[in-house]
Structure 1
């Protein structure tokens, strides 16, 4: 339902303004990175939210003034592109941004979206206040790290940790799912986020990242049983691999097994021909950061993560 004021109107974008609205909503994304995202808009989807059902505009004096977009993402999640203004962000913009965000969240709620996630460069972004007023909560600051991959027989040391790895094809979905759930217990990586999403939806999102290969979804076990999970995805267009998820159960922590998991990730990423391996980690997760840094990963950017779950209506 449109949100009205004496000077402006907030509503879902009309068909004839969708092109301009989505271009504005994605203004912060480099043009060369928009193609694949926009191609997905025209493809059939099973997501409960239509591709442009969450594309919201602020109209002022009959002209497009601002736009925001809840982009449907696998696993009943929406990635929020927060309000962008056609001209310089005006004084008092927070109230209008909150109106826009409430129309976005109403559309997501009506469609049954479980989680809406927004990424901002840092807490100095004034839209943080707008997101908070619209029911979003800050859960983490993600650091994005990367390293080049070895060639030939070069490999990382893992301090003699003896782990065996079984792929999803060997271990089966239910076993991998069970171990992932165990790794979430008392995790320092985005704590609290696991409760906001169904695990099946989380794994659906992981599967949609890059090129899916069940041989790169791994359960790690020691002599006593399963202790961790390693999920890799390949991005062939950029010659990169991504460490989508890595986790250890409580029994596996504090034993140096993180080094063994990262060493296996580096080995497998190099084996598929990637030149670089990327990973995102919660800045507050000091043990994981130390493992990555010891393995040669270097931070190159960061993003503030804010979420709104369906339970927080």
Structure 2
């Protein structure tokens, strides 16, 4: 499919195979050291079908802008942006939005580093919706602090799959952490995404939490190396505001430190003030913020 902009001589179309290598050089990530490793991994693992999402904005025979919708697992995708934010970008994004909505893609997302205002305006005009401001944090592992004894950790994957989904759904009820993301993706897709991050269908440090002989929440940790990641922690609505969030974080810190991990990282919605306060008290330092947007 080819689309011509009525405002210029720009023609937007899927990238011809013989110009793919040239087109990829027009992606912003090629020229950003912070993004190069991620793009390289995406390129080396891309299937032949993945290139259907590589689109170009052409002026005569010259490539003016390129964007790539990289398909991910579970009907999700990631948008790789053009190198320059110029007049060729709006028609390119408009064509890609239409293409994405014709695919079996539930969510196509992009995370913008600061400063993101200029790109956010263009993307929102291109049909994307702002979903959250993400704050990345890290804790340098130290000798563990004894966690609250009354909070029990039980292996999450011993629960039947239906109970796993039900527990995650209840933890997400009225949560302040990325509500738009939870609305966009079904629980089973979120769970599959966490499993992919942990590189395991049965991660060893995934737990459901027990307090006073009742399930009260979850703690999911990815432990691929000496840099652990707190993927998800949350409480059922009736158990929030009782200080249990601090106890969950102490459990996570203790597990990471005892294992010999060097760092424990996490991402939190910048609007989630109660969670950010808990992480402040636990010694997590901010690494920066990103703006999450998506077509869904």
TM-score strictly above 0.5:
yes
Q: What is the CA–CA distance in structure 1 between the aligned matches of 2:235 and 2:280, rounded to whole Å?
A: 18
Of 124, 133, 149 in structure 1, the residue corresponding to residue 125 of structure 2 is: 133
Output the TM-score relative to the length of structure 2. Answer: 0.90
Please tell me whether the aligned partners of residues 211 and 234 of structure 1 are also in contact (alpha carbons under 8 angstroms).
no
CA change 1:301–1:69 in 2 (3 A) is same
Q: What is the CA–CA distance in structure 2 between the aligned matches of 1:205 and 1:281, rounded to whole Å?
A: 17
Aligned twin of 2:63: 64
Structure 1 counterpart SS, 2:102: helix
Q: What is the CA–CA distance in structure 2 between the aligned matches of 1:119 and 1:208, rounded to whole Å?
A: 19
1:245 aligns with 2:218: no
In structure 2, stretches of 5+ residues that fail to align are: none
Structure 2 counterpart SS, 1:192: helix
In structure 1, stretches of 5+ residues that fail to align are: 45-49
Aligned twin of 1:143: 135
Output the TM-score relative to the length of structure 1. Answer: 0.85
Residues paired across the two proteins, number: 290
Structure 2 counterpart SS, 1:74: coil
1:125 CA drift (Å): 3.3
Structure 2 counterpart SS, 1:36: helix
1:99 CA drift (Å): 1.7
Cα distance per residue 1:4-45 (max 9 Å; x no partner): 134211111111222232343223344344432322214x8x
1:254 aligns with 2:247: no
Aligned twin of 1:207: 195
Aligned-CA RMSD value: 2.1
1:114 aligns with 2:106: yes
Runs (4+) off by over 4 Å: none
Aligned twin of 2:42: 37
Between 193-202 and 263-272, the greater mean CA deviation after superposition? 263-272
Q: What is the CA–CA distance in structure 1 between the aligned matches of 2:21 and 2:46, rounded to whole Å?
A: 11
Structure 2 counterpart SS, 1:52: helix
Please tell me whether the aligned partners of residues 203 and 222 of structure 2 are also in contact (alpha carbons under 8 angstroms).
no
Cα distance per residue 1:263-309 (max 9 Å; x no partner): 22222233444211110100110110111111111001110111221
Aligned twin of 1:217: 206
Structure 1 counterpart SS, 2:71: strand
Please tell me whether the aligned partners of residues 134 and 290 of structure 2 are also in contact (alpha carbons under 8 angstroms).
yes
1:187 CA drift (Å): 0.6
Q: Give matches, 1:257-276, under 5 Å.
A: 257-276=244-263
1:61 CA drift (Å): 3.1
1:115 CA drift (Å): 0.9
1:104 aligns with 2:106: no
Of 16, 22, 25 in structure 1, the residue corresponding to residue 24 of structure 2 is: 22
CA change 1:4–1:265 in 2 (3 A) is same
Structure 1 counterpart SS, 2:221: strand
Structure 2 counterpart SS, 1:303: strand
Please tell me whether the aligned partners of residues 57 and 66 of structure 2 are also in contact (alpha carbons under 8 angstroms).
yes
1:257 CA drift (Å): 0.9
Aligned twin of 1:13: 15
CA change 1:12–1:235 in 2 (3 A) is farther
Q: What is the CA–CA distance in structure 2 between the aligned matches of 1:173 and 1:218, rounded to whole Å?
A: 14
Q: Which has more helix, going by share of residues? A: 2
Aligned twin of 2:178: 190
CA change 1:53–1:259 in 2 (3 A) is same
CA change 1:265–1:19 in 2 (3 A) is farther
Aligned twin of 2:287: 300
Q: What is the CA–CA distance in structure 2 between the aligned matches of 1:272 and 1:21, rounded to whole Å?
A: 45
Please tell me whether the aligned partners of residues 176 and 229 of structure 1 are also in contact (alpha carbons under 8 angstroms).
no
1:216 CA drift (Å): 1.8
